[in-house]
C-alpha cells in the first residue's frame, strides 16, 4: 500500500502535459497515407509531428530501405523478400495503391531520401528491423546526410543492435523496444526488473514501451530512477496518451499526429 501511495503522489506532482513531450508519427502519418512512404512522412510534417518514426531494412545490395515487414507482400504490388532483393527491383514497386487509388505509384524510399527531406528542427526515430549487419551502413547514411546526431534516435527490439550503436557512437541516442504479454497469473512479461537490467546492460538511453495502461505510472517511476528516457507506442486515443504523458513519457508515437497534438495540447479537445 505504501508503494502505491508513493506512486500516486509522484504522478500527481508531474505536469499534465510537458511542452517537451514529442509527438512521433508512426511510419509517418500512417492513418492518412501509406505507411513508410514519403507521402506519409510529408503528411506527418504537415500535421505538426515533432518527429517521424520509420522502419528500415537492408536490401540484397546493401541499401537501407523503408519497410516494416520482411517481405513486400502487405504494402506493395509484389511479394518479394527485402533482404533477397536488390534496390533497383524494389524501387519499381507500387507502395501506395494498397492504401487507396490516390496513392498509386508511391515508391519505397531509401533512408537517405527520408533524411534529405527532413525539415529543419524536426527529428527521426529509425527503427531497425534487421540485425547488427545494418549498423555500418546506418552510420554511413547518417554521415552522408550530415544530419545532427541530436535529431536522430535509433530504436530496435533487438538489444544487440542497440548495444552495437552505443558502442560505436555513444552520443547517438538509442532506445530498446519492448512489448508486453500478460500471463495467466496476471503478471506482465518481460517484468520490469528484467527490463531495467537490460537497459543498463546494453547502454540504452531509454525504453520504447508498448502502451499498457496499468503499467504507465510504474514504468515512469522506474525509468526515472535509473535516468532513462521513457517513450511509448502506438497510441491514437487522447485519454491514454495523457496518462502516459502524466507518467513522464518523453514521446508518444501515434498514427495520427495532428489529432494527437489536439488531444495533448488543447484542453477542449474531444477524444
Residues 259 and 271: their CA atoms lie apart, in Å, by 9
User: Above 70 in pLDDT, residue 221?
Assistant: yes
Residues 224 and 220: their CA atoms lie apart, in Å, by 6
In this prediction, residue 11 carries a pLDDT of 37
Work out the percent of the chain whose per-residue pLDDT is above 70: 91
- 177 in any annotated domain: yes
- 197 in any annotated domain: yes
Residues 140 and 55: their CA atoms lie apart, in Å, by 17
What are the backbone dihedrals phi and psi of residue 152, each rounded to the nearest 5 degrees, phi first? Answer: -120, 135
- Give the Å distances, CA to CA, from 131 to 104, 160, 176, 209, 264: 31, 8, 13, 20, 35
User: Above 80 in pLDDT, residue 2?
Assistant: no
Domain at 83, CATH number: 3.20.20.190
Q: Which residues contact 242 (CB under 8 A, 6 or more apart)?
A: 16, 17, 263, 264
Q: Show which residues are catalytic.
A: 26, 68
In this prediction, residue 265 carries a pLDDT of 83
Residues 106 and 91: their CA atoms lie apart, in Å, by 10
In this prediction, residue 3 carries a pLDDT of 42
Rounded to the nearest integer, the mean pLDDT of the chain is 92
- The C-alpha cell of 149 is what? 546526431
- 201 in any annotated domain: yes
In this prediction, residue 86 carries a pLDDT of 98
- 71 in any annotated domain: yes
In this prediction, residue 142 carries a pLDDT of 97
Are the beta carbons of 36 and 99 closer than 8 angstroms? no
- 1 in any annotated domain: no
Model pLDDT for residues 112-168, shown as the tens digit of each residue:
999 999 999 999 999 999 999 999 999 999 999 999 999 999 999 999 999 999 999
Q: Which residues constitute the domain of residue 112? A: 10-265
- 68 in any annotated domain: yes
Residues 215 and 225: their CA atoms lie apart, in Å, by 15
- 270 in any annotated domain: no
Write 38-41 long-range contacts (CB < 8 A, 24+).
38/106, 38/107, 38/109, 38/113, 38/114, 38/117, 39/96, 39/103, 39/106, 41/109, 41/114, 41/117
- 162 in any annotated domain: yes
How many folded domains does the chain comprise? 1
Amino acid at each position: 500500500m505504501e508503494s502505491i501511495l508513493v506512486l500516486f503522489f509522484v504522478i500527481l506532482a508531474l505536469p499534465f502535459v510537458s511542452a517537451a513531450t514529442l509527438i512521433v508519427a508512426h511510419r509517418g502519418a500512417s492513418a492518412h497515407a501509406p505507411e513508410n512512404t514519403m507521402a506519409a512522412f510529408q503528411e506527418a510534417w504537415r500535421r505538426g509531428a515533432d518527429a517521424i518514426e520509420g522502419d528500415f531494412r537492408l536490401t540484397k545490395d546493401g541499401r537501407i530501405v523503408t519497410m516494416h515487414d520482411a517481405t513486400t507482400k502487405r504494402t506493395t504490388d509484389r511479394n518479394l523478400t527485402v533482404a533477397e532483393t536488390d534496390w533497383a527491383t524494389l524501387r519499381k514497386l507500387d507502395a501506395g495503391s494498397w492504401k487507396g487509388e490516390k496513392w498509386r505509384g508511391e515508391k519505397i524510399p531509401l533512408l537517405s531520401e527520408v533524411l534529405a527531406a527532413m525539415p529543419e528542427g524536426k527529428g527521426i526515430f529509425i527503427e531497425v528491423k534487421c540485425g547488427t549487419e545494418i549498423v555500418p551502413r546506418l552510420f554511413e547514411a547518417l554521415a552522408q546526410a550530415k544530419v545532427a546526431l541530436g535529431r536522430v534516435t535509433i530504436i530496435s527490439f533487438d538489444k544487440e543492435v542497440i548495444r552495437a550503436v552505443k558502442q560505436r557512437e555513444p552520443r547517438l541516442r538509442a532506445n530498446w523496444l519492448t512489448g508486453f504479454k500478460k500471463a495467466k497469473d496476471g503478471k506482465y512479461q518481460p517484468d520490469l526488473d528484467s527490463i531495467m537490467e537490460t537497459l543498463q546492460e546494453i547502454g540504452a538511453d531509454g525504453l520504447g514501451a508498448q502502451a499498457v495502461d496499468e503499467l504507465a505510472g510504474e514504468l515512469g517511476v522506474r525509468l526515472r530512477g535509473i535516468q532513462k528516457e521513457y517513450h511509448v507506442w502506438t497510441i491514437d486515443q487522447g485519454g491514454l496518451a495523457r496518462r502516459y504523458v502524466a507518467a513522464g513519457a518523453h514521446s508518444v508515437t501515434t498514427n495520427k499526429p495532428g489529432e494527437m497534438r489536439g488531444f495533448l495540447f488543447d484542453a477542449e479537445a474531444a477524444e
